[in-house]
Amino acid sequence: MKKLFFFLTFFFLIDNCFAEEFVNPVFNKTLYAYSRGSWNTLLTPNSITEYPSDSSVSDIYTQKHSCKLLENEFDHIKYDCLLCYQAFFEKEKNCSEKIIFFRIADNGLIEKQSFKPHSLEYYNLQYYTTNP
């Protein structure tokens, strides 16, 4: 009986640890750039993938960032991410830690704010829509 209890508890914990989903299904959809200079974005609980809307170059320029989901609420999600970018002329990637905050704005768009860790001032504000 103890072994059965142990196995059931183990599988329950493993299932809950790896099956995290967003509370609001809108964050599971592709977010299409609404702001100038933004890229289309695909979110998962542990990553952010950004790619240009021009499909002819999206394979070249796609950026995937590792993240940790800090908050998962109906109206917003918050990540702690390591963002790494590399331009064609650079030999190494430039990486920096950022806090990324996505929320549903009053106008129905998805708003993305990027913060430096331990700072209350955002340095980047972008908007997205779920309609292409």
pLDDT digit string (tens) for the chain, length 132 residues: 444 334 334 444 443 444 479 999 999 999 999 988 788 999 999 999 999 887 767 677 788 899 999 999 999 999 999 888 776 677 787 888 899 999 999 999 999 998 888 776 667 889 999 988
Segments in the chain forming alpha helices (H) = 2-18, 58-61
Give the pTM. Answer: 0.74
Helix (H, G, I), strand (E, B) or coil at 92: coil
Query: Contact at 8 Å (CB) between 115 and 83?
Result: no
- Count CB atoms within 10 A of the CB of residue 126: 20
Backbone angles phi, psi at 111, to 5 degrees: -105, 135
Helix%, strand%, coil% for the chain, nearest 5: 20, 45, 35
Helix (H, G, I), strand (E, B) or coil at 112: strand
From residue 132, how far is each of 16, 90, 124 by CA, in Å? 33, 32, 22
Q: Check residue 31 and report its DSSP letter.
A: B
